[in-house]
């Protein structure tokens, strides 16, 4: 084996080691901003991190918490309350968040751009509600955080401060994610998701096809008022 090949093998091994040791912390970013709006991604409603989402709202300067998610894939009428967003809202209420502060945003089920479409839904709802916004923190879990931060920033632009909070993701040890099949799957999938979030042309992006028909809003207070 030539010296060049050996150097190449060592370089590859070092790259893999650095990736393994640093990628999870990079993806599972915690970078909150001063904000009066907390957005909770509805798909995390079954996670134990919902307790942390409720605690974040109650301990922070928030006036509004928005749960956002898609309709179930089998849903047709668009009127069911059995959505990820509504279930997340119920969890927050159960955990002591004032129901008057909770708002549910449901977007129609789509195959692509779910996080970005949810971000656009939040943006549209805030514009329609004329709610003064000092900043927005997005609460999600684990390695999805970096992707959520990038896509919400792309949706809102530079005029609205956007932060992110990563709740603990169950199912694997984040310090040794490479020892778990679930950890390997999650981290590699979220790494690809982050790269997509950074570089893929998206609706309302100046380099994207002008498709504005992805958001169908069912925005309401969690317990009845529109």
CATH number, domain containing residue 82 = 3.40.50.620
The span from the CA of 106 to the CA of 168, in Å, is 24
Whether 29 has a pLDDT exceeding 90, the answer reads: yes
215 within some domain: yes
**How many domains are contained in the chain?**
1
Q: How far from 152 is each of 46, 97, 145, 202, CA to CA, in Å?
A: 22, 24, 11, 12
Instruction: Give the strand pairing for 102-107 and 220-221.
Output: antiparallel
d(CA 41, CA 21): 27
- Residue 15 banded pLDDT, cuts 50, 70, 90: confident
Whether 107 maps to a domain, the answer reads yes
The verdict on residue 173 lying in a domain is yes
In this prediction, residues 26-45 reach a mean pLDDT of: 97
Whether residue 226 is contained in a domain is answered as: no
Give whichever of 11-20, 57-66, 74-83, 171-180 has the largest mean pLDDT.
57-66
- Residue 62's pLDDT is 98
β-bridge pairing 162-167 and 64-70: unpaired
95 Cβ contact partners less than 8 Å away, ≥ 6 residues apart: 50, 51, 54
Average pLDDT, integer, range 148-174: 94
**Residue 175, domain extent:** 3-221
Is residue 119 assigned to a domain? yes
Q: What is the average pLDDT score of the chain?
A: 85
């Amino acid at each position: 084996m030539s010296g060049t090949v050996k150097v190449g093998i060592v370089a590859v091994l070092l790259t893999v080691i650095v990736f393994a040791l640093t990628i999870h912390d990079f993806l599972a970013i915690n970078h909150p901003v001063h904000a009066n709006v907390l957005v909770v991604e509805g798909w995390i409603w079954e996670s134990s991190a919902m307790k942390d989402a409720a605690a974040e709202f109650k301990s922070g300067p928030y006036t509004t918490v928005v749960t956002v998610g898609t309709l179930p894939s089998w849903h047709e009428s668009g009127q069911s309350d059995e959505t990820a967003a509504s279930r997340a809202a119920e969890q927050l209420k159960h955990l002591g968040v004032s129901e008057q502060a909770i708002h549910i945003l449901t977007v129609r089920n789509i195959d692509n751009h779910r996080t970005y479409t949810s971000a656009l839904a939040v943006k549209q709802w805030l514009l329609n509600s004329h709610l003064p916004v000092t900043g927005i923190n997005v609460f999600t879990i684990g390695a999805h955080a970096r992707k959520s931060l990038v896509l919400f920033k792309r949706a809102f632009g530079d005029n609205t401060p956007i932060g992110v909070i990563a709740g603990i993701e169950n199912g694997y040890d984040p310090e040794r994610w490479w020892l778990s099949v679930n950890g390997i799957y999650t981290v590699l999938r979220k790494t690809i998701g982050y790269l997509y979030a950074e570089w893929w042309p998206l609706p309302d992006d100046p380099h994207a096809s002008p498709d504005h028909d992805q958001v169908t809003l069912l925005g309401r207070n969690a317990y009845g008022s529109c």
